[in-house]
Chain A
Amino acid sequence: MADMLTAKRGHHRWDWTDWAAHLYLLLGVLVMFGPVAWLGLSSLKSETGLNAFPPTLLPYEAATAPVEGRGNLRLYTIDSGDFAGQQLAEIRRVGIQAQMVDPKRPEVIIRLPVEGRTPVMRMRLATENYTALFSRFDFFRYFWNSSFITIVATVLTLLVNSMSAFVLSKYRFTGRESVFLVMLATLMIPPTIVLVPNYLIAAQLGLTNSLWGVIWPGVATPTGVFLLRQYMLTLPDELLEAARMDNASEWRIYWRIVLPLSAPALAVLAIFSVMWRWNDFLWPMVVLARSEVFTLPLALNSFQGELTTQWNFLLAMTVVTLLPVTIIFAFLQKYITQGIASAGVK
C-alpha cells in the first residue's frame, strides 16, 4: 500500500505493489467497461433470451421447430423417463403437465410433467432488435433531432465564443475587463437555477417544442470564452499587424488568421460542446414536450417508462445512443483526455 502511494518507480522487478496496481486496474476495467459490454451483449438477445434467468453470457434464444398443423413450437430436451434424451415440442401447458409432441410424429400427443425437461437454446444474434427501432419506432427522427442540435449548436458555440475571445485577447477598448468579468460571472448561473425563467423566455420567443429552443441558451459559454481567450493570448500580435498592413479588415483577420491558428483550442471546445449537447437532458425535457421533437435521451427516457417489459428494444436504443460517442472516443481518445486534462473543465 505504502509503495503504491509514491509515484514513478525506477526499477523493473515486479514487487507486490505492481501486482496490486495491475489487479486494481483490471478490476477497474471490469467495473467501468463491463456494464457497457453487458449492455451490448444483451442488446443482441431475443426476448426469450433476455427473460432467461440466470442470464447467459452470449445471445441464446429458445429454439423452435415447425410441427405440422401447429406452427412453430418451442423445443425441450426431456431429462428422464421414457423419452429421456429426446427433443419434443410443447403444444400447451396445463398446470404442471405439458402436452408435448415429437416434431417427426405430430399426431401422437405426449403428456409429461413440466419438471424434468430443459428448453433447447440456440445461439442467434437478434438483429431485429435494431431493425425494429427504425421500422416500429420513429427512431430515425430522434437520431436526427439529436444530431441537428449537436451540430448546429457546436458550430454556433465555436463562432460566437471565438468572436468574443478574439477581441478580449487582442483588442484594447474601454470596458474590456468588465465584459470579461461579466462573462465569467455567468459561471455562477448554471441552467438548473434558471429553469423556470428560461422556460418563460423560450415560450415568449416561440421556442418551446422547437430544436432552436434547446440550442440557443447554451450557445454562449463562459468556459468557451475563457478557454479560447487563454489560447489566443499566446498568438503573436505581429501576425495581426502584418495583415493590417495589407489592408485586411478586422473581420478578415479574425477568420483568416486567428481562427485557423486557434484550431487546437477550438477542437477542445468542439469536443466539450458535442458532449454537452448530445447528452443534454434536463433543459430539453423542460422545453420539448411533443414527442416528434424529442432528442435521443428524451426518447429513451420516455420509452423506459412505457417499454419496461420490452427490454430488447430499450437496450438496442441505448446502444445506438452511446455508439456515436463511443466511436468518436475510440478514434480521438488521446486528444480528448489531453484536452480535458489541460482545460480542467467539463
Chain B
Amino acid sequence: MKILTAAYAAVMNLPERPMRWAQGRLRGGRLGWVFVAPNLAVFALFSFLPIVIDIVYATTGGAQLLPSERPYVGADNFASLLDCTNHLDPNTCTRDLFWHGIWNTLRFVVFQVGLMLGFSLLTALVLNRKIMGRGFFRAMFFYPVLLSPVVVALIWKWILQREGVLNAGFMAAGVTPVNWLLDANWAFFWSVFISIWAHMGFYTLILLAGLQAIPAEIHEAAAMDATPPLRHFRRITWPLLMPSVLVVFVLGLIRAVQMFDEIYVLTGGGPGTATTFIVQYIYKTGFADGVRQYGLAAAASLLLAGVLLVLTLLQLKGQRAKNG
C-alpha cells in the first residue's frame, strides 16, 4: 500500500511544474480548459470527428478506405439501402440483408425488452421482500451481467449443442432432441432468452433500488387501511416506481437495438439470416465481407444513429424526471 501511495505521488508530481506555469499565465478560471483538454481531445477525435467522417463515407462509394480516394455518389448509398419493391418483404430489397437486419432487430427489441422488463420487475419485487439470503440471491441474478458476451455465448452453445445437456434432459423426458441453433425459430428464441439471461440482473438492480426508495411509511399507511394487495401494487408501488421503469425501459431499448456480441458468437447471424441484426449488417458490410463497402456501412450507421438519438433524448428526459 505504501509503495502504491509513493508511486501515485511520484507520478502525479510530474506535471506539477508545467501546470504551475500554466496557472501563472491563465487567470479567471481559464486554467479549467487545461484540465478538460485531454477529455475533449479524445471526444473530438473518436466521437465528433467520426460523425463527420460517417457522412463523408455515406456519400461516397468504392472500396477505398481513404476518403480522398473515394468518388462522390450523393445519396446513392441511402437510396440503395432503402430500395425495396415491398418494404415488408426483405427479399424484394436491393440490400436484402439490411432489411432482414431491420426486421429481425425490431422483432428482437419487442420480445427482448418486453420480457426482460417483466422478469426484472418480478425479480425485483421478490427480492424486495424479507427473504433469507437476499444478498446471495441478488448476487446470483446479477452475476451473468459481468460475463463477457463471448463467454455467455460459449456457455450456452455448449448447453444447446446437439449432444448437449439440454437435449439429454429432453431425451430423458421422452422428447426428441432438437438442433436448437440450426432451426430459425429456435435460434431466435434462444437469442432473446440468452440476452435476457445476460442482462436482466442489471435492470433488476435499478428497479430494486427504485422499490427501496419508496418510503416505508407509504406502505405502512396502505397496510393500516387494509388496501387489497393488487390495488396496493397498482395504486402505490407501480406509480412510484414508474420513473425507474422508464429508465430501465429506454436503457433496455438502446441496448437491444445495438445487440450484436453474444448473438454473433452464438449463431453467426444464422441459420440463414434468422438472427442477423442491424449492427451485424454494419460490421459485415464494413469489415467482414470480401469487398469492404464502407459507404453502405456508414449510411446504415447514420440511420441507426438517428434511431439512437431519439432514444437517448428520451432517456435523458426520463432521467431528469427521475432525479427531479
Give residues in A with beta carbon < 8 Å to B: 2-10, 18, 21-22, 24-25, 28-29, 31-33, 35-36, 38-39, 42, 51, 53-55, 160-161, 163-164, 166-168, 171-176, 179, 182-184, 186-190, 192-201, 203, 216-217, 219-220, 225, 249-252, 254-255, 275, 278-279, 281-282, 285-286, 296-297, 300-301, 304, 311, 314-315, 318, 321-322, 325-326, 329, 333-334, 336-337, 340-342, 344, 346
- Give the residues in chain A near B206, CB-CB below 8 Å: 341, 344
Q: A25's closest neighbor in chain B, by CB?
A: B137
C-alpha spacing A164/B54, complex, angstroms? 27
- Is the C-beta of B4 less than 8 angstroms from some C-beta in chain A? no
Residue of B nearest to A22 (CB): B131
Residue of A nearest to B302 (CB): A193
Q: Give 7 new A-B contacts, CB below 8 A, not counting A8-B216, A195-B286, A200-B67.
A: A5-B125, A32-B143, A33-B140, A190-B308, A196-B298, A251-B19, A337-B138
A341 in contact with B143 given A6-B229, A188-B312, A286-B283 (CB within 8 Å) = no
Chain A contacts for B49, CB-based, 8 A: 197, 201
Contact of A28 among B33, B140, B165, B168 (CB under 8 A): B140
Q: A172-B29, A198-B46 are in contact. Are A297 and B149 (CB under 8 A)?
A: yes
Q: A7-B125, A188-B309 are in contact. Are A194 and B301 (CB under 8 A)?
A: yes
Contacts of A25 in B (CB 8 A): 126-127, 131, 137
Cβ of A192 and Cβ of B137 under 8 Å apart?
no
Contact A216–B143 (Cβ < 8 Å): no
Instruction: Kindly list chain B residues whose C-beta atoms are within 8 Å of the C-beta of A296.
Output: 148, 150
Choice from B48, B66, B214 contacting A7 with Cβ under 8 Å: B214
Min CB distance, A269 to chain B, in Å? 13
Determine the chain A residues whose CB is within 8 A of the CB of B127 once the complex forms. Answer: 25
- Cα A325 to Cα B149 in complex, Å, equals 13
Q: Known: A173-B28, A195-B287. Is A251-B57 also a contact (CB below 8 A)?
A: no
Please count the residue pairs between chain A and chain B whose beta carbons lie under 8 angstroms apart in the complex: 317
Q: Which of B29, B163, B223 contacts A171 (CB 8 A)?
A: B29
Task: Provide the residues of chain A in CB contact with B151, threshold 8 Å.
Answer: 279, 297, 300, 318, 321-322
B63 within 8 A of A: no
> In the complex, how many residues of chain B place their beta carbon closer than 8 angstroms to a beta carbon of chain A?
115
Query: Could you tell me the dominant secondary structure of chain A's interface residues?
Result: helix
With contacts A160-B42, A194-B51, A197-B53 taken as known, whether A6 is within 8 angstroms of B237 at the C-beta atoms is yes
User: CA of A22 to CA of B149 in the docked complex: distance in angstroms?
Assistant: 29
Contact A297 B205 (CB under 8 A): no
Chain B, residues 14-43, CB within 8 Å of chain A (1/0): the string is 011001100100001111110110111011
Q: Can you list 9 A-B pairs with a CB-CB distance of less than 8 A?
A: A2-B228, A196-B57, A196-B294, A220-B39, A281-B150, A285-B287, A296-B148, A321-B148, A344-B206
A171 touches B298 (CB 8 A): no
Bound-complex Cα distance A219 to B35 (A): 15
Do B130 and A9 touch across chains, with their CB atoms under 8 A apart? yes
Q: In the docked arrangement, what's the CA distance between A179 and B158, Å?
A: 48
Contact of B137 among A28, A164, A179, A254 (CB under 8 A): A28
Q: Are B233 and A192 in contact (CB under 8 A)?
A: no
Distance between Cα atoms of A203 and B144 in the complex (Å): 34
CB distance from A80 to the nearest CB of B (A): 25
The answer to whether B158 touches A54 (Cβ under 8 A) is no
Q: Cβ of B43 and Cβ of A220 under 8 Å apart? A: yes
**Chain-A contact segment, one of B88-96, B109-117, B182-190, B257-265:** B257-265
Q: Is the CB of A179 within 8 A of B40?
A: yes
Contact A282 B260 (CB under 8 A): yes
What residues of chain B lie closer than 8 Å to A189, measured between beta carbons? 47-48, 50-51, 305
Cα(A333)–Cα(B159), bound, Å: 27
- B154 lies within 8 A of chain A by Cβ: yes
User: Which of B45, B209, B283 meets A282, CB within 8 Å?
Assistant: B283
Checking B126, B146, B305 against A193 with a beta-carbon cut-off of 8 angstroms, the contacting residue is B305
Residue B78 interfacial (CB < 8 Å):
no
Judge whether B35 and A166 touch: CB under 8 Å: yes
Which 5 A-B pairs rank lowest in CB-CB distance, beginning with the nearest? A173-B29, A197-B50, A197-B53, A251-B19, A194-B50
**Alpha-carbon distance A26/B315, docked complex (angstroms):** 34
Chain B residues with Cβ under 8 A from A9's Cβ?
A: 129-130
Given contacts A193-B54, A282-B261, contact A163 B229 (CB under 8 A): no
In the assembled complex, the CB of B267 is this many whole angstroms from the nearest CB of chain A, namely 12
User: Which of B23, B57, B145, B302 has its CB near the most chain A CB atoms (within 10 A)?
Assistant: B145
